[in-house]
Amino acid sequence: MRPAFYGLMTALSMVLAYAETLLPSIGIPGAKIGLPNIVTVLGLYTVGFKGTAAVSILRIVLVGLSFGNPSMMIYSLSGWVLSMAAMTAAKRTGLFTPLGVSVAGGVAHNLGQLICACVVLESTAILAYFPFLLPAGVAAGAVVGVAGGVLTERIKKYTDPRE
């Protein structure tokens, strides 16, 4: 069942990435809801870090090749690295629900992309944008966390934990 589930998670995250390209901007340049991260939250709670990492990296590369460019992939991977670290750490504490884990990931993702921009632009001035991205990361993380939490509960309800 695992390979099929990984395939379904990859396909769902790609569909959500494409759907997100059709949505209007949320008002802050460069900020997005991060709909594919619903699958990341689901993965962390169902298949663990390694499987989620594989699905996420595959999604970033495939979406970058399909709808983006190499620059987009670099920024996405930079945000993902810090986001996965934050979400994994938050989940491991046992203190956070999927909503809290996702909010940590949303904020960390924005910070990761800004750090990448600092390296690319050879300037830390871009970090001044973080206070504007912080509320967007919290809001997007909350939306993704609620959806990911609901999806996780539904998946767990209808799957055999022994598989």
Average pLDDT of span 126-136: 92
* Mean pLDDT, the chain, whole residue set: 91
User: Would the pLDDT of 1 be above 90?
Assistant: no
For the domain with range 2-157, which CATH number is right: 3.30.70.1280, 1.10.1760.20, 2.30.110.10, 3.40.50.170?
Answer: 1.10.1760.20
The Cα–Cα gap between 74 and 72 comes to 5
Residue ranges of domains in the chain: 2-157
The pTM (predicted TM-score) of the whole model is 0.90
Find out whether 36 and 84 touch, Cβ atoms under 8 Å: no
Question: 32 in helix, strand or coil?
Answer: coil
Q: How many CA atoms lie within 13 A of 42 on its CB side?
A: 25
* DSSP letter, residue 131: H
Nearest 10 degrees: Cα torsion 32, 33, 35, 36: 50
pLDDT band at 29 (very low <50, low <70, confident <90, very high): confident
The pLDDT tens digits for 34-73 are 999 999 999 999 999 999 999 999 999 999 999 888 998 9
